A and B are shown apart, each in its own frame.
Chain A
C-alpha cells in the first residue's frame, strides 16, 4: 500500500509541472484577500464578502486543493473501446473489450434475460436494500452453479458466499480480506493476466508478484516456469488462478496439469484464489468450465473463488458476481462471511439488486435455465466458429509454415496472438483493428465476414513490424 501510494505521489508530482503549463491561468497566490475581511460576530451578515467572492473568484477559491491532479492514463482495456468509437474508418474492427457480439457485431442481450426482466416488471417487486451480503436466492444459486448443488461443501455449509460487484468487486472483497487477515501474505498472479488484477491487489494493499504463464515460443502454457515460480514462492502464499478461459491468453492447463498444480499448492501450503469469469462461456458447458475449481475443492483446499455473470449471462452493465470462500467448517464460513460484510459495508453498503434478481430468476426456473444453457452454447459455438475460420484464413495466406494452431487450442473469448506492442500498434494504426497492447484480441468482437481481413492484418503486423 505504501509503495503504491508513493508511486502515485511520484506520478502526481512529476506531472504537476505539465499540468500547470497546460493550465491557462497564471500561477495562483494564496487567497490573501479574505484574510483582510473582518469577521464580525456570528449574527452579522457578510455582504462585502459575497461581492469579493464574485469579483475575486479565482483568488477567493484559492487554488483548488486538487490543482496538482494530473490526467490519468486511459485504461488499457476500456480505453480501447473509447478509441475505437472515435475512429471514423469504415474498416474498423473492435477486438478490444471482452464483450460478446453477434455475427452482426451487435451487443447481445440474452433472451432469458429479457424474459426474466419482463417477469420482474410484471411482478412489480420493491426496491428495498438488499442485505450487505446480497440476495439470498442469488447467493444460493451461484454457489450451486459453481460447485454443483449436491457438492458436500454446499451441503455442509462450508462455503461463505457474498454477492459482489461482478468479478472486479468480488476480487476486491477477497483481496481486502487477504490484506486484513493475512497481512504480509503475497498473491501470485500469472504473467500475463487481466490488467485490472494488479490494480485490485495494489489498491487493496496486497503485495503481489508474478508466476510465468505464457510461453511466446509455443504461444502456449509455460508449465515448467509456472510450477517453478509457484514452488519458489514463500509457503502459504495465495495463487490467483483463472478457472477457465484464461484472460488474456485463452490458454488453460490440461486436467493433468491442474492436478500437478494442485500438488504443488498442497506441498507449499498455498491457497488458491480462482477467478471464474467465463463459466459456461468457455466450452458452452457450465459443469466442464467449473471442473478445475471442483477438482481443487474435492482435494480439500480452502480457497477463494470470484465469479462473474457479465459474460455468461451478458449482464455486463448490472455488475453481478460473487466472492466465495470454501472453508473446513460451517462455523468458519459464518465468521468469514461476517467479515466480508464488514469490508463491503464501507465500500458500497449493499450490492445492487437488479442483476442478482435476473440471475436468481433464470437459474430458479428450469425452463429459463435450459434456455440459458442453449444460449451459452450458441455464444461459445460462435466463438469456436470464428476461431476456426480465422485459423483457416491464416493458413491459406501464410505459407511460411508458422504454426497458427494456437488459435484453435486457446479457449474462450480471447486469443493471445503473440503480437508485440509495436505490432499491436500497427494493427490499430494501419488496419484500424483495435486490441489491447499485450497482443490480446477478443474473438467475441470478430465475425466470419471479417476473418479474412483480420488474417491479413495479423500477417502484415507479425512479419513486417519488429
Chain B
C-alpha cells in the first residue's frame, strides 16, 4: 500500500525552519491519508460552533440542548456547587473500578426504578457508570452486538442524531419505526404500533423514556401500556434512553413512568441515564447503564461483561461528576434542593413555551402553534423546513439544528419576541 519513505537525499520537511509548511519531501511515502476527507460538521454540536463564530449581537442559540437561565447564561446548580465544596480536597484520585463508583450506580438505579423497586431489592440489576448518556447507549449497543450479534435495533423517526452513529459504529443492524406525525406535530401511534409489530422477535427497541428528543412528543400512559403489551407478546426488548428525568415535567417520578409501567409488566429492560441536563453536569460526562436480569448471578455476569467492553474503550470512568451526583443524592437536604432546582428549570421552559406560542399568535401567524405547549422537555419540534431554518440563521442569526428543533432552554424573556418575529417572518 504505502511506499517506503526515501531516506537518503530526501529533504525532510522539518529539517530546516525555512521549509514551507506544506512541503513534503520528494519520494516520501504518500497514500496513508488520501482517503481522509474533512468530516461534515456534527449536526448538533456544529451548530454551537457556528454560533460562537458569529459576531452579531442579536444572535440567538437555540441549538444544543444545554439549559440556560433567563439571562441566557449556563447554570451550575446550587446543590452541585455545595457538593463540590463538600468533596473538595477530600478524595484521592485512584482509578475507579471499571464499572465506576458503586455508590453512584446504586443511587442512579434507585432514581430510575424507584427506591424500593423489587428488582433492586433482589439485586437483579447490572449497573455500570458510563460517559453520560452517550456512553451508556454505546456500551449497550456494543453489548447487544457481542451477545446478540444477529439482533436488530429499532430506532424512532426522528431521534437524536447520535443514536444512529452509536448503533452504526457498534455494527448493529438498525431499522426505524414511525414516531412523529408531521400533520399533527404529535405522536404517530398507529404507525409506531404497525412498524413495531413487524419487528422480528428478539429485536431491541430504542425508546425515549420522556421528553423525546428532538420532537418533545411523548406517548401517554395508556399508549405506553399498550406498547408494553406488544413488546411482551412479540418478544421485543425495551431499551430506554432517559436523558431528561426530572427535567421534563419537573417531577422525577412522573418522568420515569414509562419505565415503571414496563417494569410492572415484568419486562427485563435496560436503561441509559444521563445527569447532563437534570443535574447540569454536561461536561462532567456522568451517566449510568443498567440492565435488568433474571437473577442476581446473571446481573453479576452481565456487569462483568459490560466492564469488558468498557476496559478497551476508556478503562474506567471519570470520578468527579460521579462524586457530585453521589453527594447530592445521598444527602437528604441536597437532594431536596436538587428536586427544587430541577423544577425551576422545567418550569422556566414551560413558561417559555407559553410565551413563544402566545407571541406567534399575537403576530397573527396563521399556522398552528399549539404543539409548542403540547410538546414536553427541552425541545420543540417546530415544523420548520430546512430552508426556513437556514433563513433564520442567515437573516436573523438564530441557530438551531436543521430539522427545525428549537432548544427551548435557549429561549429567554429577552429573546422570545425576536425569535417569534423571526419564525413568523420565515413562515408567513
Give A contacts to B, CB under 8 Å.
1, 5, 8-9, 12, 19, 22-25, 31, 34-35, 37, 39, 42-43, 45-46, 49-50, 53-54, 57, 60-72, 75, 78, 82, 97, 99, 107-109, 113-114, 117-118, 121, 124, 126-132, 152-153, 156-158, 165-166, 168-169, 172, 181-182, 185, 196, 199-200, 202-204, 235-236, 263, 266-269, 271, 297-302, 310, 314-319, 327-332, 334-336, 338-339, 341-343, 345-355
Supposing A127-B282, A185-B1, A300-B5 touch, asked if A199 and B64 sit within 8 A by C-beta, the answer is no
Query: A34 CA to B231 CA in the complex, in Å?
Result: 11
- Is residue B49 contacting chain A, with contact meaning CB distance below 8 A? yes
| A residues near B131, Cβ cutoff 8 Å | 165, 347-349, 352
Q: Which residues of B contact A113 (CB under 8 A)?
A: 93
Cβ A57 vs Cβ B266 within 8 A:
yes
A238 CB to closest chain B CB, in angstroms?
10
Q: Are B283's CB and A128's CB within 8 A?
A: yes
Q: Which residue of A lies closest to B81 (CB)?
A: A124
Q: Once the chains bind, are A23 and B298 in contact (CB under 8 Å)?
A: yes
Looking at the assembled complex, report how far the CB atom of B191 sits from the nearest CB atom of chain A, in whole angstroms. Answer: 13
Chain A contacts of B280 at CB under 8 A? 127
Docked complex Cα distance between A23 and B29 (Å): 58
CA of A406 to CA of B33 in the docked complex: distance in angstroms?
A: 41
- Rounded to whole angstroms, the CA-CA distance of A335 and B14 in the bound complex is 20
Chain A CB within 8 A of B264 CB: yes
Q: Is A182 in contact with B32, judged by CB distance below 8 angstroms?
A: yes
Q: Which of A31, A39, A297, A348 contacts B132 (CB 8 A)?
A: A348
Q: Residue of A at shortest CB range from B24?
A: A328
Interchain CB contact under 8 A, B321 and A352: yes
User: Besides A172-B313, A203-B309, 20 other CB < 8 A contacts?
Assistant: A61-B266, A65-B147, A66-B147, A69-B298, A70-B305, A72-B301, A99-B95, A127-B74, A166-B315, A196-B311, A203-B142, A297-B14, A301-B5, A319-B314, A319-B317, A328-B13, A346-B134, A347-B138, A348-B134, A350-B45
23 A-B interface contacts by CB (under 8 A): A19-B301, A24-B295, A39-B230, A54-B266, A65-B237, A117-B89, A121-B85, A127-B76, A132-B42, A152-B17, A156-B21, A172-B314, A269-B29, A318-B318, A334-B38, A341-B42, A345-B134, A346-B165, A346-B169, A347-B313, A348-B131, A348-B314, A355-B320
Q: Is the CB of B226 within 8 A of A8?
A: no
B contact residues, range = 35 or more
Question: Which chain B residue has the least Cβ–Cβ distance from A68?
Answer: B147
Which chain B residues lie closer than 8 Å to A8 at the CB level? Answer: 146
Closest B residue to A328 by beta carbon equals: B24
Find out whether the CB atom of B93 lies under 8 angstroms from the CB atom of A298: no
Known: A118-B88, A352-B320. A335 touches B37 (CB 8 A): yes
Q: Are B311 and A199 in contact (CB under 8 A)?
A: yes
Using an 8 Å CB-CB cutoff, how does the interface string of B1-45 with A read, 1 for contact, 0 for none? 111110100001111010101101100110011011111001001
